[in-house]
Structures are given as C-alpha cells and as structure tokens.
C-alpha cells in the first residue's frame, strides 16, 4: 500500500472520537479509498500490523452492522469492555447501537 494511503488511513482512525465507533469501510472512505477497491481490507491490515506501534484506537472500529469483528477469546471481550468504558451502548443482539456511529460531521 502506498505510504500516502497508509497515512490517510492512520489519520482517519485517529479521528474517531471517544465514545463513538466507525466501520472499516467508513474509515476507508474517509481516507479517500473508493468503494470496492479493497479499502476495508486495507484498514484491517493496518489495524493488525500497526495498532500497537501507532497507538491506534482499534477498539472503535467495528463492522458496518455494529458487530465486533474479533471472535470470542481473540479480543472481542476486550473490545466490548473498552467500548463500554467509553460509554458506547450495545443493543439486545450484542451489536453497537447505531446512535454511537460517528457521523464525521460532529
């Protein structure tokens, strides 16, 4: 991935405010990645490889339906705990309530 695209994705990830979530695709779009061009996969790749080193708020990124992508025992419980600590609520199905998705114009 070109460095400029990586920088834009990092900036978009850092912009998600405390108490809000964004989807992988939403971050890709914010970073200027066109739909269908692998943008969400690029976001996942950056989160996996750079979250710790870049101190990224990885827990604020969820699937577009509000589901946590990590599986139980592989970080899902930690992500849920970190989101709850920031005041993010979950619906009855265990997904982040839509009201907590970042609208980017806040």
Locate the domains of the chain by residue range. Answer: 3-96
Q: Are 45 and 1 in contact (CB under 8 A)?
A: yes
Instruction: Return d(Cα 106, Cα 103) in angstroms, integer.
Output: 6
Q: Is the pTM of this model over 0.75?
A: yes
Residue where the block lists tokens 């992988």: 24
State how far the Cα of 74 lies from the Cα of 30, in Å rounded to an integer. 27
Q: Using a pLDDT cut of 70, give the percent of the chain over it.
A: 95
Q: What is the pLDDT of residue 36?
A: 63
CATH architecture of the region 3-96:
Orthogonal Bundle (1.10)
pLDDT of residue 68: 97
């Amino acid at each position: 991935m070109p460095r400029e695209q990586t920088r834009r994705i990092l900036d978009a990830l850092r912009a998600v405010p405390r108490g809000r979530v964004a989807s992988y695709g939403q971050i890709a779009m914010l970073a200027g990645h066109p739909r269908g061009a692998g943008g969400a996969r690029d976001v996942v790749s950056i989160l996996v490889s750079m979250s710790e080193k870049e101190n990224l708020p990885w827990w604020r990124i969820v699937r577009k339906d509000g589901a946590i992508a990590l599986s139980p025992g592989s970080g899902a419980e930690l992500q849920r705990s970190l989101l709850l600590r920031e005041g993010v609520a979950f619906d009855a199905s265990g997904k982040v309530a839509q009201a907590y998705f970042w609208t980017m114009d806040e």
